[in-house]
Amino acid sequence: MYTLSMLIRKRSKVFIVLFFTLSAFLTLSLSSCSSDNESEALKSIRGTWDIKEIYSAYGERQELGLAIDWDTTQVLDSGFFNFSADNKGSFSFIRLDTSYASTNLDWNLTRERLNCGFTQCDFYTIDMEGVIFECQFGDQTDDAHINATEMRLIEESTELGPYRQIIYFLEKN
């Protein structure tokens, strides 16, 4: 015959074993899912992206933060970024009355896992021959990188001194 305290101890041992088994299972399954994230993001990025808007901000990066002196948003009628499967990129657009165009640029996508509160998030960057863009997909949910049709490329200075941020709002062509 079991006493109440024996039943509680026995159930707590079963609970602990189940808890650790479930935790291990979830950890393995979540980490195996995230290993495909970079290949899914690569599939999404490849192709031609129309530039819909460009946000430009200029100012000063100081020890205690940013002091934005001037910013503007442009809506574009034309302009694009293209990322080919052979990792060659091109772009063409007009920003602030200046024409920008380049072809045959090497590009590379990098995925990092960063702490986001109690969990980790995927953080993507695109390097186009030394110009680094933070890459944000759609609504930035866990699966936004899969078959993405909206993307933001963010180019931002990080050093103290003159500050520049340019955000390209893109839609898949």
pLDDT in tens, 139-161: 777 778 888 889 999 999 999 99
Same domain, 45 and 109: yes
pLDDT above 60 (res 126) = yes
Write down the mean pLDDT value for the chain. Answer: 83
pLDDT for 85 equals: 92
Domains held by the chain: number: 2
Are residues 49 and 134 both part of a single domain?
A: yes
List pLDDT tens digits, range 29-76.
Answer: 444 344 588 888 888 889 999 999 999 999 999 999 999 999 999 998
pLDDT at 120: 79
% pLDDT > 70, the chain: 80
Q: Which residues of 119-138 are buried (b: 16+ CB within 10 A; e: fewer)?
A: eeebebebebeeeebebbbb
Q: Do 134 and 67 sit in the same domain of this protein?
A: yes
Say yes or no to pLDDT of 27 above 80.
no
Pair (20, 97) in one structural domain: no
Cite the beta strand spans of 38-129 per DSSP E. 47-62, 65-75, 80-83, 88-95, 98-116, 119-128
pLDDT tier for residue 12 given thresholds of 50, 70 and 90: low
Domain of residue 67 covers: 37-172
- Residue written as token pair 């948003």: 73
Do 115 and 161 belong together in one domain? yes
